[in-house]
Amino acid sequence: MRREFPAASEDDAAAPKRRLTPALMAAVVLGLIALTTVTAVIVHGRESRQAEVERRGEAKRAAEDLRERFDLTLGGLASVRGLFASSETVTGREYATFARTLLQDSPVSGTLVLSRVPATLRRDFESLPGAGRIRDVIRGRARRRASPRNEYYPIAYRAGEPLPVGLDLSADPALRRTLEQARDTGRPRASPPISLPPGGRPGLLVFLPIYASGQEPMTVAARRAGLAQVAAASF
């Protein structure tokens, strides 16, 4: 039995084919753009969070490394203080030998010892072998002659540091404030970022007081009167 299909009517033949209208096409395009934008935002957000996690990790590692170096610097300065506290006099050769052992295999680049020199003893200090004239440091550069004041803190010993003997670091107001804070508290103090000679290189200095008695005095007045030297290191 032959199967017959119904013939198309004139109405069916005349029916128009369905096409996308301009409005519908625009809606589709806008939808695709929105979907692409959302996808890009999600991807970018994930990448940004990952980058932020990585940055925080790097910052944490850098902070831990800086803290370790700072602790090692304080340990080195404490050793210098112990040397001077245990001896009435320390020669330049003794300090050089001590510092060479101290700095071996250490991230600490060098150490300094500043002597407290009242104005009345300035000539005595400058007459010491190798001391020379006391000089000021202004804006990271050394001047030829220190200006008159009540007391000076010239470098008397150095090891591994480019700063010259006789340079008075207390001529710099920021360094003097930090030095006085260390003197009054008996604790190590770090200066704000400064320009260090030679050449004005950026950095900071850490100060640790050394008292004539070998022990930290109980009062601020006694600490001020008993200060003999200051151990220091650049950082």
* Residues 232 and 207: beta-carbon distance below 8 Å: yes
Please report how many Cα atoms fall inside a 13 Å half-sphere around the Cα of residue 198, on the Cβ side.
5
Decide if 149 is inside a domain. Answer: yes
Q: How far apart are CA 186 and CA 218, in angstroms?
A: 9
The reply to whether the predicted model has a pTM over 0.85 is no
- Whether 30 is in a domain gets the answer no
Residue 120 lies in a domain: yes
The CATH number of residue 104's host domain is 3.30.450.350
Rounded Cα distance, 188 and 179, in Å? 9
Q: Report the domain count for the chain.
A: 1
Q: Which residues pair with 157 in a beta bridge?
A: 113
pLDDT at position 164: 82
Letter for the amino acid at 32?
L
Asked if the structure places residue 145 within a domain, the reply is yes
* Strands 167-168 and 135-138, bridge-based pairing: parallel
- For residue 103, give the nearest of 84, 82, 134, 75 by alpha carbon: 75
Q: How far apart are CA 66 and CA 201, in angstroms?
A: 18
| Residue 177, in any domain of the structure | yes
Residue 71 lies in a domain: yes
Alpha-carbon distance of 92 to 100, in angstroms, equals 12
Residue 48 lies in a domain: no
Q: What is the pLDDT of residue 82?
A: 86
Residue 25 lies in a domain: no
Q: Which is it for strands 135-138 and 227-234: parallel, antiparallel or unpaired?
A: unpaired
Which pLDDT tens digits describe the chain residue by residue (235 residues)?
555 544 444 444 454 555 556 666 666 666 666 667 767 666 666 666 776 666 776 666 656 666 666 677 777 788 888 888 887 788 888 888 888 887 776 667 778 899 999 999 999 988 888 777 898 865 545 567 888 889 999 999 888 877 788 889 888 888 899 999 999 999 999 888 877 666 667 778 899 999 988 888 999 999 999 999 999 987 7
- Structural domain containing residue 188: 56-234
